[in-house]
Amino acid sequence: MSSIKSKKLKVFLCDLTYDTIILVSDTIPINIGFVGSYLLKQHKDKIDIELFKYPNDVIKNLKENPPDIVGLSNYSWNSNLSEYIASVAKKINPNVIIIQGGTNFPHEPELQEIFLRERPNTDFYTLLEGERSCSNIISRILSSNDDQEKIFENNIDGVVFIHPKTKKFMKGKYVDRIKDLDEIPSPYLNGLLDKFFDGDLTPFIETNRGCPFTCSFCHTGADYFHKLNKFSEQRVKDEIDYIGKKAGNLGISNLHMADVNFGMYPQDKLTCEYLKESKERYGWPKQIMATTGKNSKERVMKITNILGDMFSINMSMQSMDEQVLKNVKRANIKLDHMIDVNNHLIEQGRSTKAELILGLPGETKETFISGLNNVLNSNSASVTIYTLMMLNGTEFKKPSYRKAFGYEGKFRIVPLNFGEYDGKRIFDYEEVGVITKDMSFDDYLHLRIMALFVESLHNGKPFNEFFLYAKNYNIQSATFLKILIDNLKNASPGIQNLVNGFLEETRGELWDSEEELVEHYRDDENYLKLKNGEVGGNLIYKYKSKSIVESSSEWLEFFKSELYKAIIAKQNNISNLNEIKSEIDEISKFCELKLHGLLNPKIQSSSVESNFTYDILGWIDNYNEKSKLSNFKLDHHEKLIFEYTKDQMGIRDDVFKRYGTSINALSKIVTRISNLESQFRKVRNGNDKYLRDVYKKVGDTFVKYALSN
């Protein structure tokens, strides 16, 4: 360690991402920005701070300019990478102090001790919010006068560690949260984050901290986080303006928000207004990724309506079974309320999302399917189905909790989180719950296939017109998806191979132990498969991307044949079979053209067109479950032209440039688009001077775009 009397402490703060195939964690690191800004405020000219995101960048600097202290974020996606960088730093300078902090850490002291003993290169771990805890460590180091023994001789508030000599587990008192968050200087406004406006990373902002909910599967469910603390309105406004200028110049389209209940609080209205103003002034953001509030849905709808199609409402249901919800200490909005919310949003032309978690305690295959059917039939535009992650800091890591519900976990690589750095292959992996006393492994596999079908065929409305047409014949969305799954043998070989490939990879990605997983992927042949993107990605989004880019025409044929057969089976004495076939053919053509080139840079973005016998736009505009397409038959053919707007082209250019065009890159892109339907081609009549959005309304009028846009 440098002599404290002679010069400043040199501090590296790292929020690392794997970058072997693509940038996996692609956000500007505000977490270490907050910590760094707070440390500079508290310790002023006694420290120098440098921030890092990319592993090779920090390794290079560790060798060329060794620091006194290295701080590392620790999340489920970079935990082993951070510990490895700690080991590199220790080899270069054995006296370097390593601090880690982040959500991937148990709450129970006995589990904390086990965690630290398995990470011998980490000297200190900060508990919960890290600014004050990390500052306490710096104060201890500064007061030690280069005496290493003094650094570790007593507990430090907000910190746990293993004493290097006695090997005793040491734990300080929890520190109070920062109530006035402006006490932390803005790392944007003071320039600390400027280096990360590199065209590759996405801006990340936080307007408040805290969550009033107690969900057992979430890190913020702890009592510590229940009270809401806020940054000031002026601070948020200034940050958005500062980011907007830089992001707009770089052509960045996205924004991520760290708030866990965005839109639930009155001050969020001002944030939305600032963001809308920024888009109008700087062209940023075009899309916003955020988690909306679980309660106060009317307020969330009203506030976020300011953002239009930049943003989607998220209904985080997790389960629809009352006993399961009790098991995870959660309460949902009622189903009829959710339906009202979704219908209201649909009337506004806005996208709605819902979330379910596969494998929650007490959930059976039957209760999950029943709940999924209810959510699908509530008119949510998207229903995302997550596999339960057994995260540190949640009850699912407690042996007693796992035993009570009969959990068996398997290990898989966190999608694309691997790499070779300084000559060593590093992997980050997660434990997922695949068996409980109420759900077998075969049940898990069946539900994963259902999740694939929901994500690929329903979510984002790629084939929405088929689902609307099916409802005209009393075939609900969930029923139609079940028909497709049950009759998969009738699909093309390409579709069958796609589904079988997904099932094979789902089995193959799971390992009984961390050791088996690491041993397997360190083998040259298996590691090459990872590097080539053959394995190790997000399977749901990988196969959704393959469905859209490689197999959409095959899906359309499958939809056509199965829907036609389902209608015949549903109805008696149908006399208009030819008319039904003609209508389904037109719907297929409409879907094909609106999806033309979606996520596919190889297809020209110029306009495409065709003649139609039915007024499909009029049918969509006036849709209800009794409005038959036959009532919209035209006296003569009508030409429809399908085009991309200027904003859409900007988003396409941005995401292809930043993520690439491989199947794994496309898998990332679908998670970085706020709603898929916003990227469908807009439509106009051959004689019309305006493009219109198929789904987005303002009042009773669908949104139109000038051709110059």
Which token pair is 147? 């005496």
Please report which confidence band the pLDDT of residue 216 belongs to, taking 50, 70 and 90 as the band edges. low
Element (H, E) at 496: helix 493-508
Q: What is the Cα–Cα distance from 266 to 270, expressed in whole angstroms?
A: 8
Please report which confidence band the pLDDT of residue 224 belongs to, taking 50, 70 and 90 as the band edges. low
Q: Is the pLDDT of residue 532 over 80?
A: yes
Cβ(392)–Cβ(354) under 8 Å?
Answer: no
Please report which confidence band the pLDDT of residue 367 belongs to, taking 50, 70 and 90 as the band edges. very high
pLDDT score at 678: 85
List the domain boundaries for the chain.
9-171, 578-706
Element (H, E) at 490: none
pLDDT score at 4: 44
DSSP state of 477: H
Cβ(556)–Cβ(550) under 8 Å?
Answer: no
Question: Which tops the pLDDT comparison, 313 or 157?
Answer: 157
Q: Is the pLDDT of residue 118 over 90?
A: yes
Which token pair is 612? 């139609």
pLDDT score at 300: 79
Q: Is the pLDDT of residue 141 over 90?
A: yes
- Section 408-432 average pLDDT: 96
Please report which confidence band the pLDDT of residue 622 belongs to, taking 50, 70 and 90 as the band edges. confident
Least confident span in 396-400, 420-424, 449-453: 396-400
Query: Which single residue is written with the structure tokens 């999302």?
Result: 353
Q: What is the Cα–Cα distance from 243 to 573, expressed in whole angstroms?
A: 63
Which token pair is 476? 């609900």
Cβ(457)–Cβ(547) under 8 Å?
Answer: yes
- DSSP strand pairing (382-387 vs 352-358): parallel
191: left (phi over 0), alpha (psi -120 to 50) or beta: left
Rg (CA), the chain: 27
Which token pair is 207? 């307007």
Beta-bridge partners for 353: 314, 382
Write the secondary structure of 610-634 as one string of H (helix), E (strand) and C (coil): EEEEECHHHHHHCCCCCCCHHHHEE
Which token pair is 554? 């095959």
Q: Is the pLDDT of residue 691 over 60?
A: yes
Question: Which tops the pLDDT comparison, 305 or 183?
Answer: 183
Q: Is the alpha carbon torsion for 149, 151, 152, 155 positive or negative?
A: positive
Q: Is the alpha carbon torsion for 68, 73, 79, 80 positive or negative?
A: negative
Q: State phi, psi for 325 to the nearest 5 degrees.
A: -60, -40
Query: Percentage of the chain with pLDDT > 70?
Result: 91
Neighbours of 406 (CB within 10 A): 12
pLDDT score at 301: 78
Please report which confidence band the pLDDT of residue 5 belongs to, taking 50, 70 and 90 as the band edges. very low
Q: What is the Cα–Cα distance from 497 to 517, expressed in whole angstroms?
A: 26
Please report which confidence band the pLDDT of residue 406 belongs to, taking 50, 70 and 90 as the band edges. very high
pLDDT score at 321: 84
pLDDT score at 333: 64
Q: What is the Cα–Cα distance from 388 to 444, expressed in whole angstroms?
A: 11
Neighbours of 22 (CB within 10 A): 21
Please report which confidence band the pLDDT of residue 349 belongs to, taking 50, 70 and 90 as the band edges. low
pLDDT score at 460: 87
Query: Which single residue is written with the structure tokens 């030409």?
Result: 639
Please report which confidence band the pLDDT of residue 354 belongs to, taking 50, 70 and 90 as the band edges. confident
Q: Is the alpha carbon torsion for 692, 660, 202, 386 positive or negative?
A: positive
Angle (CA) 617-618-621 rounded to 5° is 85
DSSP state of 160: E
Of 341, 343, 339, 340, the C-alpha closest to 375 is 339
Identify residue 518 by its one-letter amino acid code: V
Cβ(187)–Cβ(30) under 8 Å?
Answer: yes
Of 117, 112, 114, 72, the C-alpha closest to 96 is 72
Please report which confidence band the pLDDT of residue 123 belongs to, taking 50, 70 and 90 as the band edges. very high
The tally of CA atoms less than 13 A away on the side-chain side of residue 472 is 22
DSSP state of 600: -
Q: What is the pTM of this model?
A: 0.88
Query: Which single residue is written with the structure tokens 């434990």?
Result: 431
pLDDT score at 3: 44
Q: What is the Cα–Cα distance from 318 to 359, expressed in whole angstroms?
A: 10
pLDDT score at 60: 98
pLDDT score at 325: 85
Q: What is the Cα–Cα distance from 685 to 603, expressed in whole angstroms?
A: 23
Q: Per 3-state DSSP, what percentage of the chain is helix, strand, and coil (rounded to 5)?
A: 45, 20, 35
506's CB contacts (< 8 A; 6+ apart) are: 445, 448, 539
Residue 250 exposed, middle or buried by CB count within 10 Å (0-12, 13-18, 19+): middle
pLDDT score at 393: 84
3-state secondary structure of 410: strand
Least confident span in 214-228, 414-428, 644-658: 214-228
Neighbours of 505 (CB within 10 A): 17
3-state secondary structure of 492: coil
pLDDT score at 330: 75
* CATH code of the domain made up of 9-171: 3.40.50.2300
Cβ(85)–Cβ(59) under 8 Å?
Answer: yes
Residue 703 exposed, middle or buried by CB count within 10 Å (0-12, 13-18, 19+): middle
Q: What is the Cα–Cα distance from 587 to 354, expressed in whole angstroms?
A: 26
Q: Is the pLDDT of residue 455 over 80?
A: yes
- DSSP strand pairing (97-101 vs 124-126): parallel
Which token pair is 472? 């005209």
pLDDT, tens digit, 9 for 90 and up, residues 42-58: 999 999 999 999 999 99
CA 253 to chain centre: 16
Q: What is the Cα–Cα distance from 171 to 429, expressed in whole angstroms?
A: 27
Q: Is the pLDDT of residue 217 over 60?
A: no
The mean pLDDT of the chain is 90
Please report which confidence band the pLDDT of residue 350 belongs to, taking 50, 70 and 90 as the band edges. low
